[in-house]
Structures are given as structure tokens and as C-alpha cells.
Amino acid sequence: MDLHHHIRLMAGYNQRLNHQVFSAAARLDADALAADTGAFFGSIMGTLNHMVVTDLLWLARFAQHASSYKSLQALSELPTPERLDQQLYPTFAALGAARGLIDSVIIEWSVDELQSSDLQRSLTYHNSQGEASERDFGELVMHLFNHQTHHRGQASTLLNQRGLDIGVTDFLIDIPRLDEAS
């Protein structure tokens, strides 16, 4: 398996699933989105917000990894989170717009700028408590997508409890069939 190819597939999967989750959630009113469900981040809105917060934190760290990551610089215009539960956007529409922009940037970055050689290096960064850490960059990129999948599962459950189906969630449909590849 080529890790760089896998990351590009995951970027597309990430964008598709986020669109499905946000499309389903858009059928709820503001009160239903903000209702405390007992989830780790309280509500559907809190869960979706946390996903945006963590993406912004990780992508800001990733932007420091290589000077050629120009697409990630576009995200510096968005709010800089200070806490993992910080509500960055007051409305679902604003949160959805940020989500769409972030997903588009992840696609652009993974397709046009990320190099396979980048994935073989380490990334030194500071976590949200200010502690320095150095880790394998390829593994950190995979963590970005794994974290999304984890919280989308929570959001999917919360939406399902309200009678909303987000649709097909299998990554399988994003993997090209070998008999169709050219």
C-alpha cells in the first residue's frame, strides 16, 4: 500500500462523509443541534465543532512541516482554537461553511502539495497543553483522518437517534476497483 495514495483516498472519504453528516444535521433546527445528548462534547453541534477545532489545530501544525504547503496557509484566516471544546462558530451555517473549506483544503493539500517523502519525516509540535512532541508525520496525518472517523461515528449515532440516516459510510466505495483502474 502506498501511504500517499491512501491519504488522498482518505481525504476524499473525509470530505464525502462530512458532507453527508452536515447534510443530515441541516435538517434539524438550532435547538435540536444544541441539545445536550450526553455525548462527550454535549451535542451534535458540539461534536461537529470539535471536529473542526481539531482539524484546524492539526492542519496548523502540518503547515509548519514543509514550506510548500501553501494551501494550508489559507486556513490561518479561520479562528485559532484555544480549547478542544471551544465553540468557534455561533451558527450551524457558519460551522458548515468552515467544514467545507477545511475539507477542500485537505483535498488540495493531499493531491497537489503533500509529497511521499514528507510522510517519512517526523514533525515536532506543541500539543494543546503546550508540551513539545515529535512523531512520525505519516502517522499524524492518519491520526487526523482516524479522529474524524471516530467523531463522525458519534455524530452519526446522535443523528440516527433523531431518525436521520447519513447514508453509506463505508470507505469501501472510495477504494477504486482494480478491474476498473487504468
Residue 27's pLDDT is: 98
φ, ψ at 76 (rounded to 5°): -65, -15
pLDDT at 182 over 80: no
At 69 the pLDDT is 94
Instruction: Please say if the pLDDT value at position 33 is more than 70.
Output: yes
- State which CATH number among 3.40.50.1390, 3.40.720.10, 1.10.3720.10, 1.20.120.450 fits the domain covering 15-173: 1.20.120.450
Q: How many residues does the chain have?
A: 182
pLDDT of residue 168: 96
Q: Look-up: residue for cell 452519526?
A: 156
- Give the integer Cα–Cα distance in Å for 2 and 100: 27
Per the prediction, the chain carries an average pLDDT of 95
Q: What is the pLDDT of residue 68?
A: 80
* Ramachandran bin of 38, using left for φ above 0, alpha for ψ from -120 to 50, beta for the remaining angles: left
Given a cut of 80, whether residue 181 has pLDDT beyond it is no
Longest dimension (CA), the chain: 49
**Neighbour count for residue 84 (Cβ, 10 Å):** 12
**Residue 149 exposed, middle or buried by CB count within 10 Å (0-12, 13-18, 19+):** middle
**What integer is the mean pLDDT of 20-35?**
98
Q: What is the pLDDT of residues 97-149, one digit of tens each?
A: 999 999 999 999 999 999 999 999 999 999 888 999 999 999 999 999 999 99
Taking alpha carbons only, the member of 166, 150, 159, 153 closest to residue 44 is: 159
